Chains A and B, each alone.
Chain A
């Protein structure tokens, strides 16, 4: 296997019985999982080719329990891997044999809904879709919509700063969170922010969102909720030339139009998703855009007329507007099931680089060249408006040599993203998957500044170990307190 795990520490494993007894005293009943066949359910996430059975799993039901668990593990020096629903595509919640998995899934209640302030306070284990579901009756929703939203938790969304197809207009998780209840590694409970649009002091919410479980465990979240648009309509645009799709995107944005979503799929992705979702995607084109606009019917008509006119300038071959709620649902089902549908055809790894959108045509050619060079296939689905790419590199998991090739192809693709001015990950996170590529994007000093913060908030480095930072990343000693 390409990605290394640190060897389990014998001194930690030796404490197993004592740690389990202490955890049972904190979380009574069935909240402590010790049997191997039950622990196995927590051995991996959506990066399924890597797995490690954790030492023990604990499922607390209250913030105070989380605090006691962390205080215990901090005192004992036992690694803790926080876990939401385990849908991470980058191995962000894969445990190790000497770790306690701290799952927040039982903490899934809505604590407060405030329509006049347009905020909602929830426990961290609630699913993304359940948040919107709670307020849909009043016409509100929570904006970030990762493809896994049916299963993934707000805890995981906060950890990974999750995005989704509609963040071109509504932003990512970091732009939609107002408050966090944080438990520090020492077991201290800290309220940060709340119902106001900003919080005093340094922006800890901004730092914690996307910190991948490295800095503490979040047990409650205050999110912004927004009023739904009067209507939403996706339109399919099929192009015979890939470059024409790219130019259409650039010209739409250049014309001052920001649709809610601009999604790109290549021929391979179109065929795979159409076979699964029967969404009516055009099959005889090289590239397809799903462009969604919102507003009243008249507003959508007006905006779409402008968009269609721009697409026609670039010889769009197919324009297909959704005529009903069912068609809209089918169009999005096809796109949002891209990962699952690809999984029916082959095993795949899903990359997540972001590039400057102007470099799209050359990067697409580069991806094609890289993947063919390894003798593999790729399906490309992108958030084209913001340059966030999801090439799905397909391989056969039962062929170890092919898996290695796929991982190398993925790494080469991410190097290309960085080389053209982009980054390794736009919304999935670094996890274990991209950990060893961090030096492609960051200098030693860049990494050192990040690890200093890690050390400041987790002095023993027990939180979600062996993720985000290369195993040999530079570290300082514990920084002194400010003068």
Chain B
């Protein structure tokens, strides 16, 4: 297995150009903490962004930061935190769920469009990505977007590439818009709700003027009751006011208690990272649906005896299901589709990921469009072949 570690964009472009000339596919790697996500890639060589590292621009007053793709995410978040700022989309750290080691990178977060609980209010990674430099499957060094947060000049390749899992291009620099860290945050808790009541409570909170940045439901475990959780952020006085207002609004669903400080941070990091599955062996699915469809989805999944956790007000359902031969793939995809959403297999042994649909199967016309996009970036199928869909 050859490992390429270019230290400049030109070197990266040369490596991809040569791979294309030789028709030898490349696996694309950042920190490899998400290497176990997606279908297995068959490639004789890997190109790593590890040596493309460093923050290239940070203007706190303009709410913008740019870094080379191999920059450890931690370097970016620590640099931002030192100036009281953050990445708005609260990226999940997959290491706990996947049992992987190493450092998540900026490029990996962008390539997998990794977003966390705050997505419900502050957008996904793709919404914060404002500029991208990349090498496509033809070995060309291309840029799209830039460093200003409002930019509609030309086609928005940044969003087309966010979440493309290295199958369209190898990123070498990413620019994000950022936000200030809130002065304080607080979590409101209601205990003992079932999925249907939890989604109704979360929906009431998200339909209020109080702008929750987290809306999750964690199942009962042992002696601990199920907990329905709503996170709000802002100035201290504002939080006190909003706590009162939300408690009144949510009174029909149960008594509201409050979690502040370190305990709240830990709680949301656990939700972000789907930590309830970190010490188990089951297959883990991430199912994205309209929130009100979550209870029906839970019912459809019941024959698989899943453990469920809800984020995004019910719009993101994490399901732990026995691995078996296919991790319940057919049933899960069918249930997600019936609920008006789609499922992705986030954790399963390689042999399972190689044999089932890891990403949701698409109808023929939609798949045809996907193939046209793939062909316009990587016509010879050089980059991460098969990572998302068989033969693409």
**A250 and B381: CB pair below 8 A?**
no
**A206 and B148: CB pair below 8 A?**
no
Contact with B along A360-387 (1 / 0, CB 8 A): 0000000000000000000000010011
Distance from A332 Cβ to chain B, minimum over Cβ atoms (Å):
19
Q: Which residues of A contact B160 (CB under 8 A)?
A: 202-204, 206-207, 453
**A196 and B162: CB pair below 8 A?**
no
Q: Which residue of B is nearest A434, CB measured?
A: B153
Q: How many residues of A contact B (CB 8 A)?
A: 100
* Interface flag for B265 (CB, 8 Å): no
Interface of A is mostly: loop
Partner of A298, one of B154, B163, B241: B241
A195-B289, A445-B141, A480-B375 given; A422·B237 CB < 8 A: no
**A174 and B155: CB pair below 8 A?**
no
Q: Which residues of A contact B258 (CB under 8 A)?
A: none
**A171 and B123: CB pair below 8 A?**
yes
* Interface flag for A161 (CB, 8 Å): yes
Of A30-38, A254-262, A316-324, A403-411, the one touching chain B: A254-262
Q: Could you tell me the distance between the alpha carbons of A425 and B359 in the complex, rounded to whole angstroms? A: 35
A202-B370, A206-B162, A445-B142 given; A118·B59 CB < 8 A: no
**A203 and B293: CB pair below 8 A?**
no
A253-B63, A258-B179 given; A160·B146 CB < 8 A: no
A191-B366, A197-B124, A197-B316 given; A257·B291 CB < 8 A: no
Q: Which residue of B is nearest A445, CB measured?
A: B140
Of B28-36, B97-105, B203-211, the one touching chain A: B203-211
Partner of B150, one of A196, A228, A354: A354
Q: Which residues of B contact A358 (CB under 8 A)?
A: 59, 61-62
Distance from A90 Cβ to chain B, minimum over Cβ atoms (Å):
10
Q: Could you tell me the distance between the alpha carbons of A187 and B255 in the complex, rounded to whole angstroms? A: 54
Contact with A along B331-349 (1 / 0, CB 8 A): 0000000001110100000
**B157 and A449: CB pair below 8 A?**
yes
Q: Could you tell me the distance between the alpha carbons of A10 and B123 in the complex, rounded to whole angstroms? A: 49
Q: Could you tell me the distance between the alpha carbons of A167 and B123 in the complex, rounded to whole angstroms? A: 13
Q: Which residues of A contact B198 (CB under 8 A)?
A: none
Of A18-26, A93-101, A209-217, A270-278, the one touching chain B: A209-217
Q: Which residues of A contact B63 (CB under 8 A)?
A: 253
Chain B, range 140-188, C-beta contacts under 8 Å to A: 140-144, 146-160, 162-164, 168, 179-181, 183
**A206 and B291: CB pair below 8 A?**
no
Q: Could you tell me the distance between the alpha carbons of A482 and B183 in the complex, rounded to whole angstroms? A: 49
* Interface flag for B372 (CB, 8 Å): yes
**B148 and A386: CB pair below 8 A?**
yes
* Interface flag for A429 (CB, 8 Å): yes
* Interface flag for B312 (CB, 8 Å): yes
A196-B341, A197-B119, A299-B238 given; A482·B381 CB < 8 A: yes
* Interface flag for A399 (CB, 8 Å): no
Chain B, range 264-306, C-beta contacts under 8 Å to A: 288-293
Q: Could you tell me the distance between the alpha carbons of A434 and B342 in the complex, rounded to whole angstroms? A: 39
Partner of A228, one of B140, B209, B316: B209
Q: Could you tell me the distance between the alpha carbons of A114 and B293 in the complex, rounded to whole angstroms? A: 12
Interface of B toward A, CB cutoff 8 Å? 59-64, 84, 113, 119-120, 123-124, 126-127, 136, 140-144, 146-160, 162-164, 168, 179-181, 183, 200, 203, 206-209, 234-235, 237-238, 241, 288-293, 312, 315-316, 340-342, 344, 359-360, 362-363, 365-381, 385, 388-389, 391-392
The 3 tightest CB contacts between A and B, nearest first, are A206-B159, A195-B290, A256-B180
28 contacts between A and B (CB under 8 A): A118-B207, A167-B150, A172-B150, A188-B368, A194-B341, A197-B312, A197-B316, A200-B344, A201-B367, A201-B388, A202-B164, A206-B126, A206-B159, A207-B155, A210-B156, A253-B180, A254-B61, A256-B84, A298-B241, A358-B59, A421-B147, A423-B151, A426-B150, A426-B151, A427-B152, A450-B144, A481-B371, A482-B374
